[in-house]
Amino acid sequence: MKWTLILLLGGPLAETTLGWTYHYSPTPMNWTQARQWCQTHYTDMVVIQNQKENDYLVSLLPNKTKSPYYWIGITKNHKNETWTWVGNNSTWIGEQSWATNEPNNNFSNEFCVEIYTNSGENRGKWNDEKCINKKYTACYKAQCNTTICGRGRCEETIENIKCHCDPGFKGDRCQTAVECPPLSQPNAYHNCTEGNQTFNSTCHFKCNPGFLMIGSPNVTCEITGAWSGPRPICESYKQALLAVAGCGALTACCCICFCWMKRRKRKKLAQERQPEEVTSPSSEVQG
């Protein structure tokens, strides 16, 4: 995706047509004030998620030959606590992010982080610093909002935004509902909710005059882009009656067979019992 860069002096740092934008403050301030400044004018203090973003940010910030440099949005409250990014609570720390011999937690109270923008070997590296010191601040302005991705979740990336679509929707902004195959049944017509055949729409079939429906008249377009069930069949009345009659005859045959077999089995059992009844009186004589 192509993007353009517009450099604006005296406030906003840069603006891209897609993806977030980076900005910086015109004056130094302590870390707490710096974050408030970012939240007031933009979205928040910068969050860096990988080395590529780190390098990109440094390439946009004005060079400084000495302190103060720029606050970035990573901090901790106690000595042994994990460094955490304020914007998204991530704990990403690149293997080469810290400057030489940093973080040194000098005087045991360096809980905020600055990024060097000089031209030396530490350019783009981090240093833990006392939060009350005054530095410029680096902010970002998010491009994601609640509506940009339509039916999906928006994710900020360095040069773009990415939409993760809800099930049943597609497109780069999740603007398109998944479509089901066209409906066409012989001797039938149908109407669909909202006039389309996309995810969540239900279509109702009716048969042409002289035809009888076999099956459910409704089908719904599902998340997968498939219809919820088989489409109904419209048979002519004559064929439908023959089908019903055929089914009835088959049922009757089954009933007759079942009854005949049951009766035969009962008769056989009765025949087997007769010899036993004849021999049983002898036991009374012996007693």
198-208: string of b/e by CB count within 10 Å (b at 16+)?
Answer: bbebebebebe
Closer Cβ to Ca ion, 59 or 105, answer by number: 105
For the chain, how many residues are written? Answer: 287
Instruction: Tell me: does residue 224 bind Ca ion (CB under 5 A).
Output: no
Start-to-end C-alpha separation, the chain: 108
Instruction: Tell me: does residue 53 bind Ca ion (CB under 5 A).
Output: no
Contact 159, 19 (CB under 8 A): yes
Which of the stretches 8-16, 88-96, 103-111, 277-285 binds Ca ion when contact is defined by CB under 5 A?
Answer: 103-111
Report the nearest approach of Ca ion to the CB of residue 19 (Å). 31
Instruction: Tell me: does residue 114 bind Ca ion (CB under 5 A).
Output: no
Q: By CB under 5 A, name the one of 39, 91, 104, 228 that touches Ca ion.
A: 104
- Alpha-carbon dihedral of residues 45, 49, 51, 55, nearest 10 degrees? -30
- Report the residue number whose CB is nearest to Ca ion: 128
Report the nearest approach of Ca ion to the CB of residue 37 (Å). 23
Instruction: Tell me: does residue 128 bind Ca ion (CB under 5 A).
Output: yes
Q: How many residues bind Ca ion (CB under 5 A)?
A: 5
Binding mask 135-174 for Ca ion (x = CB under 5 A): ----------------------------------------
**Of the candidates 19, 98, 92, the residue with the CA atom closest to the CA atom of residue 49:** 92
Closer Cβ to Ca ion, 110 or 235, answer by number: 110
Report the nearest approach of Ca ion to the CB of residue 59 (Å). 24
Amino acid letter for position 210: G
Report the nearest approach of Ca ion to the CB of residue 129 (Å). 6
Amino acid letter for position 179: E
Amino acid letter for position 198: T
**CA-angle at 38, arms to 1 and 90, nearest 5°:** 65
Which of the stretches 120-128, 166-174, 220-228, 245-253 binds Ca ion when contact is defined by CB under 5 A?
Answer: 120-128
Continuous segment of H or E residues that includes residue 129: strand 126-129
Binding site for Ca ion (CB under 5 A): 102, 104, 110, 127-128
